[in-house]
Amino acid sequence: MNITDITSLYETNKEQHLNSRYITNSHIKPLLEKLDSSFEVSEIGTSVLGKPISGIKVGTGKKRLLLWSQMHGNESTTTKALFDFINALKHPNNALGFIKEACTLYIIPILNPDGAEAYTRLNAVDVDLNRDAQTLSQPESKVLREACNTFKPHYCFNLHGQRTIFSAGTTDKTATVSFLSPAQDKDRVVTDSRKIGMDIIAQMNATLQELIPGHVGRYDDSFNINCVGDCFQSLNIPTILFEAGHFKDDYDRDVTRFYIFCAYISAFNYIVKQEVTGDLYEDYFKIPENDKCFYDIIIRDANVGTSNNPKISDIGILFVEKLINKKIEFFSKIESVAILSGFYGHREINANKMRVLGVDGTVVKEGVENDFVTIGGDKNLLKL
């Protein structure tokens, strides 16, 4: 499928009831209830706090794909794109009927419903489910492992989101989408299983380069058997990690969801149309490895000293996400006061050597939240 076809599918099937970063069971419940009989929806387990974990099975084909999202509750972009994809699967024109004929997909849209509700990375007892693949100490971890053991997937898609700090290489380009074919041993050997994942990622990257050239990154492949992707890869199941990242001014990640949707379609189309052998894995290594080159705001050339003892520096600010009345709000926190050459701001302000002060005329300090600063006496709002 070409970019025009994929874009048309997205525009027709974007799920309008899923918006912003806050996506919970209550948001997806009515969408699950509306699915037709070709989708087998079931409660496959419950969370620590007893919230249902839903599974969706669709398709009749021999190639089995297992996908799970919101293992980290505050990483919801891939969930939104999953429902865009589900809408495209059920669309009357049957444009994606070939996927349902060739594949059987098992989708867990929110693995960590407690974390989703609280908008946290962790589950209700502060366990990172992506470090629980061996001990399986949490009910959510057991649900995923049971799904894998029962469904016996040929491919796994481990769907996450990443912070605004990431760049595609050491560049001024954001890592809007990042991928990883996880290691399956401490030596990070490029095994046959990894090659298959790399092959698929290379195909997705080729598609995305037409849309966002230079904005695709490759995630670090340090091995940790407690991570689910590494664990499943060690079982010789080709596993692909998605990281949905930042696009310019897209703090709701509503633009990024389109690129994630494009990656889904590209991957599934490739799996259906090709016998993926891993022979074309080498292009994976042409994707630049992620670096951390961004702040949300950088104030350049700021006087952060006193009126009698000026000191010229840059001020790096990151947004802190907080759940307030079931909405995500962004607060600015001073992360670094230093010369930030080699770093970039999603927004940059030039102080032109004027004095920069925090709230109530205080000296700016690292670790302090400031909704605004004054630059030469003029107020500059930092909050989104």
Same domain, 304 and 203: no
Which residue, 100, 95, 107, is CA-closest to 32? 107
Same domain, 103 and 247: yes
Q: Report yes or no: 373 and 380 within 8 Å, Cβ to Cβ.
A: yes
Same domain, 275 and 342: no
Tell me the CATH number at 366: 2.30.40.10
Looking at residue 59, the DSSP 8-state letter turns out to be -
Same domain, 240 and 300: no
Q: Which domain holds residue 309?
A: 294-381
Whether 383 shows a pLDDT value over 90: the answer reads no
Same domain, 166 and 309: no
d(CA 371, CA 120) in angstroms, rounded, equals: 22
Q: Report yes or no: 99 and 269 within 8 Å, Cβ to Cβ.
A: yes
Residue whose token pair is 């307030």: 324
Same domain, 176 and 192: yes
Count of domains forming the chain: 2
pLDDT number for residue 291:
98
- Mean pLDDT of the residues in the chain: 96
pLDDT digits (tens, 9 = 90+) for 102-147: 999 999 999 999 999 999 999 999 999 999 999 999 999 999 999 9
Same domain, 277 and 300: no
The angle, 0 to 180 degrees and rounded to 10, between the axes of the packed helices 77-90 and 3-13 is 90
Q: H helices of 15-96, where?
A: 25-33, 77-90
d(CA 91, CA 70) in angstroms, rounded, equals: 25
90-114 CB burial, b ≥16 within 10 A, e <16? beeeebbeebbebbbbbbbbbbbbb
For residue 72 the two structure tokens come to 């980290």
Helix (H) or strand (E) holding 358: none
For residue 203, the number of C-alpha atoms closer than 13 Å in the C-beta half-sphere is: 25
Say if strands 327-338 and 378-381 run parallel, antiparallel, or are unpaired: unpaired
pLDDT number for residue 384:
77
Looking at residue 361, the DSSP 8-state letter turns out to be G
Same domain, 250 and 375: no
Same domain, 303 and 274: no
Whether 341 shows a pLDDT value over 90: the answer reads yes
d(CA 31, CA 64) in angstroms, rounded, equals: 23
Same domain, 282 and 165: yes
Among 292, 312, 342, the domain boundary falls at 292
Same domain, 335 and 242: no
d(CA 179, CA 270) in angstroms, rounded, equals: 16
d(CA 201, CA 195) in angstroms, rounded, equals: 10
pTM of this prediction? Answer: 0.97
Q: How many H helices and E strands in the chain?
A: 9, 17
Tell me the CATH number at 205: 3.40.630.10
pLDDT number for residue 328:
96
pLDDT digits (tens, 9 = 90+) for 143-196: 999 999 999 999 999 999 999 999 999 999 999 999 999 999 999 999 999 999
Whether 307 shows a pLDDT value over 90: the answer reads no
Whether 358 shows a pLDDT value over 80: the answer reads yes
pLDDT number for residue 362:
87
Please report the DSSP string for 257-275 in residue order: HHHHHHHHHHHHHHHHHS-
Among 241, 261, 292, the domain boundary falls at 292
Instruction: Mention every residue, 6+ apart, whose C-beta is less than 8 A from residue 325.
Output: none
Residue whose token pair is 């525009």: 11
Tell the burial category of 181 from Cβ atoms under 10 Å away from its Cβ (0-12, 13-18, 19+). Answer: buried
Instruction: Calculate mean pLDDT across residues 276-291.
Output: 97
Which residue, 160, 161, 183, 178, is CA-closest to 239? 183
Model confidence at 335, pLDDT cuts 50, 70, 90, reads: very high
Among 292, 311, 329, the domain boundary falls at 292
Which CA distances in Å does 237 have to 148, 254, 324?
10, 31, 40
Same domain, 301 and 152: no
